[in-house]
Homo-oligomer: A and B are copies of this chain.
């Protein structure tokens, strides 16, 4: 982790900036530091109180600026540790998605998967999405995935046991799609993806180590095989700054 440059040098031009609002001025100061200085991704910013003293402003004003930069995806916080410069986001293409592990590695980063919990549960309302009766049993997998050591998403996957009997024999700390293909001969032929901006709250926020209410992206993916049976039904909660989505589509309607 690189350290930040001398805090006493952070405010040279502040008084001379033409900004109307203090927090915008600070935002611009920090943003330009990130752009030009030796503040590579992962660097730690000075503490809020250091910034406060350097800028001669109230701490609330400093925090307002930091929230802006967080919303823009330039910085993120580690709870009660500090503010850090973001990595560039991963590009997500549902049509070419070959799995998190290979995808992130291809883009030059270090992917990691942690299995938080596995369970067998009755399908209930979720059965509709997996194509089984409400009384049927489903495999449920909760995982957390990291890029360069930073948690970026949590997910809950539902799998029909008929597709992959004894799935839990295998380590799930890697690519699930590879296991399904290599061990069970199940291949994904079609994806259905639903996504929307959301706020990360409760368990999701806790698992990602973010403050409840931090903006995020919710992604629901249903994978089908060639016979149009559901392979995976997956709910993913992403940090908003870790993801870019790219889709190419043939226009079918009209």
**Count of chain copies:** 2
Q: Are B243 and A196 in contact (CB under 8 A)?
A: yes
A132 contacts the other chain (Cβ, under 8 Å)?
no
A100 to chain B, nearest CB (A): 14
Please tell me if the beta carbons of A98 and B254 are within 8 angstroms of each other in the complex. Answer: yes
Q: Quick check: is A71 within 8 A (CB to CB) of the other chain?
A: yes
- In the complex, residue of chain B having the shortest beta-carbon distance to the beta carbon of A220: B246
Return the chain B residue nearest A250 by Cβ.
Answer: B190
Chain A residues bordering chain B, tally (CB within 8 A): 45
| B68 pairs with A243, CB closer than 8 A | no
Contact across chains for A249 and B94 when beta carbons are under 8 A apart: yes
Please determine whether B246 and A249 come into contact, CB atoms closer than 8 angstroms: no
Q: Is the CB of A244 within 8 A of B195?
A: yes
Docked Cα-Cα span, A174 to B246, in Å, equals 27
- In the complex, are the beta carbons of B199 and A71 less than 8 A apart? yes
Q: What are the residues of chain B within 8 A of A67 when measuring CB–CB?
A: 213
- Residue in A94, A97, A213 whose Cβ sees the most chain B Cβ within 10 Å: A213
Cβ-defined contact, A212 with B89, below 8 A? no
Q: Is A197 an interface residue (CB 8 A)?
A: yes
Q: Which residues of B contact A195 (CB under 8 A)?
A: 244-245, 247
Q: Would A197 and B213 be within 8 Å (CB), given that A188-B251, A251-B95 are in contact?
A: no
Nearest chain B CB to A106 CB, angstrom units: 11
Is there a chain B Cβ closer than 8 Å to A6's Cβ? no
A214 at the interface (CB under 8 A from B): yes
Chain B residues in 8 Å Cβ range of A252: 95-96
B residues within 8 A CB of A24?
212
In the complex, 19 of the A-B residue pairs with CB atoms within 8 angstroms, ordered by the A residue number, are A60-B60, A67-B213, A72-B199, A94-B247, A95-B249, A95-B252, A95-B253, A189-B250, A190-B249, A190-B250, A192-B246, A192-B247, A192-B249, A193-B248, A196-B243, A215-B240, A245-B245, A247-B249, A249-B249
